[in-house]
């Protein structure tokens, strides 16, 4: 950081010569050093700012020096921003920051080979983060595809990465009937009691529950419209509000009598609060932001420890609802629509363990029916 002849700090790249003139020095990304002299300090500072701005604007045209970090920023701001939801963009940024930036971000994209990406994905897979591995591979492939379309690189290195066999996935955690009964006893008086009960009665995603408004609740016709989702990405109350996860996630859920009781109880709680800062939310905190998914999951871990069972999350309550539906004999297509799955195969895959149990029971009926014949 340079100084003037009186010892005052002028800023990086600026200094004053003994003859009184001001020097502005700048090094371009290609390593070229430029220096210019000015009679007045303001002129020197203005010139330096313009040079830096010009050099920044040329970065994406100087294909030899674009790093993956720089291309990612451009990719997010100019390619994906208008084509995906804000929550998806935040997901890209989070995965890139957590898994890619430190290991590959500083490399120039022309120097990134399939072996770099293979190593990165292998490491993510070894951590058991199958979902992250798959989504990061897809994101990087799309990034390099657009780099090819812009003539920055000739080939997409992700295309040469060998498939990675994901680690064996655990079946989704589901509360047994007895665990569910114990859970409902344990949450009596808990600040989140009504929220947990609501998910067990409807199977909604946590973000859908948080974003539910009273306008979405039709007490007369006993149905709930799932119209939006809400999620917070950091501890600064940076909330994203948007449509549900997919087209099929926008759905109608019939209200059970228990669900009606829960919502009436919540309405009574809301009467005591200040006006809702987010617009008439069902599970409102008045003039404070809603509780985050992380807050709900944290309390569930505490409750699970108290129950002395394997820990579980909000998603477990959704899976538990679906499992009870299958056990009660609801058709898979009906369960699919209640959950908002786009494909019935996803529903069947998630609850295949329940279906296998039901299949065994049905075969037992077959055996009993024909026991006198065979």
C-alpha 170 chain-centroid distance? 21
* Mean per-residue pLDDT of the chain: 85
d(CA 212, CA 228): 7
d(CA 37, CA 22): 5
Task: Return per-residue pLDDT of the chain as tens, 374 residues.
Answer: 678 878 888 888 888 888 888 888 888 766 678 888 898 888 888 888 888 777 666 555 556 678 999 999 999 988 888 888 777 888 889 899 999 999 999 999 999 999 999 999 999 888 877 778 889 999 999 999 999 988 888 999 999 999 887 766 667 789 999 999 999 999 999 999 999 999 999 999 999 999 999 999 999 999 999 999 888 765 556 677 878 777 888 999 999 999 999 999 999 988 777 676 677 899 998 888 899 998 999 999 999 999 999 999 999 999 999 989 888 888 888 888 999 887 777 777 666 666 566 666 666 766 665 665 55
Q: What angle do CA 103, 109, 112 make, to 5 degrees?
A: 60
Query: Residue length, the chain?
Result: 374
Beta strands in the chain (DSSP E): 2-3, 9-11, 14-16, 22-27, 33-38, 217-218, 223-226, 229-232, 239-242, 251-254
pLDDT of res. 330: 86
Give the per-residue pLDDT at 254: 95
Backbone angles phi, psi at 22, to 5 degrees: -105, 135
Domains of the chain in sequence order: 2-58 (3.30.160), 65-160 (1.10.150.130), 177-360 (1.10.443.10)
Q: How far does Cα 26 stand from its chain's mean position?
A: 40
Contact yes or no for 60/70 (Cβ under 8 A):
yes
Nearest C-alpha neighbor of 367 from the set 54, 359, 179: 359
Tokens of 151: 């003539």
- pTM for the model stands at 0.64
Q: Can you read off the two tokens belonging to residue 204?
A: 């909604």
Question: Strand 223-226 relative to strand 251-254: parallel, antiparallel, unpaired?
Answer: antiparallel
Interval 14-36: pLDDT, tens: 888 888 888 888 887 666 788 88
Please answer whether residues 196 and 190 qualify as being in contact, where contact means their C-beta atoms are separated by less than 8 angstroms. Answer: yes
- Residue 107's nearest CA partner among 145, 148, 72 is 72
């Amino acid at each position: 950081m340079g100084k003037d002849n009186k010892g005052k700090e002028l800023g990086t790249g600026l200094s004053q010569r003994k003859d009184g003139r001001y020097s502005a020095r700048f090094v371009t990304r290609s390593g070229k050093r430029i220096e210019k002299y000015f009679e007045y300090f303001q002129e020197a500072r203005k010139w330096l700012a313009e040079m830096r701005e010009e050099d920044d604007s040329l970065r994406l045209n100087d294909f030899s020096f674009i790093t993956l970090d720089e291309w990612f920023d451009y990719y997010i701001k100019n390619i994906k921003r208008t084509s995906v939801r804000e929550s998806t963009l935040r997901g890209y940024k989070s995965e890139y920051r957590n898994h890619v930036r430190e290991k590959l971000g500083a490399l120039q994209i022309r120097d990134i080979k399939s072996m770099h990406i293979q190593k990165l994905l292998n490491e993510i897979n070894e951590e058991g983060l199958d979902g992250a591995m798959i989504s990061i591979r897809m994101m990087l492939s799309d990034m390099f595809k657009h780099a090819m379309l812009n003539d920055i690189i000739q080939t997409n290195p992700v295309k040469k990465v060998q498939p990675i066999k994901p680690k064996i996935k655990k079946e989704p955690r589901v509360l047994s009937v007895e665990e569910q009964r114990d859970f409902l006893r344990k949450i009596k008086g808990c600040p989140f009691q009504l929220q947990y009960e609501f998910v067990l009665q409807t199977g909604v995603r946590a973000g859908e529950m948080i974003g539910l408004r009273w306008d979405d609740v039709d007490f007369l016709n006993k149905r709930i419209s799932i119209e939006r989702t809400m999620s917070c990405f950091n501890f600064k109350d940076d909330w994203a509000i948007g449509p549900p996860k997919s087209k099929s996630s926008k759905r109608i859920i019939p209200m059970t009598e228990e669900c009606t009781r829960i919502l009436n109880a919540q309405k009574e709680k809301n009467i005591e609060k200040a006006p809702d800062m987010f617009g008439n939310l069902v599970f409102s905190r008045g003039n404070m932001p809603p509780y985050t998914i992380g807050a709900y999951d944290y309390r569930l871990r505490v409750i699970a420890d108290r129950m002395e069972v394997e820990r579980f999350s909000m998603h477990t309550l959704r899976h538990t609802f679906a499992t009870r539906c299958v056990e009660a004999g609801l058709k898979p297509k009906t369960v699919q629509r209640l959950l908002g799955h786009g494909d019935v195969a996803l529903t069947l895959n998630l609850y295949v363990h329940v279906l296998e149990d039901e299949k065994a029971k049905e075969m037992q009926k077959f055996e009993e029916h024909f026991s006198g014949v065979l």
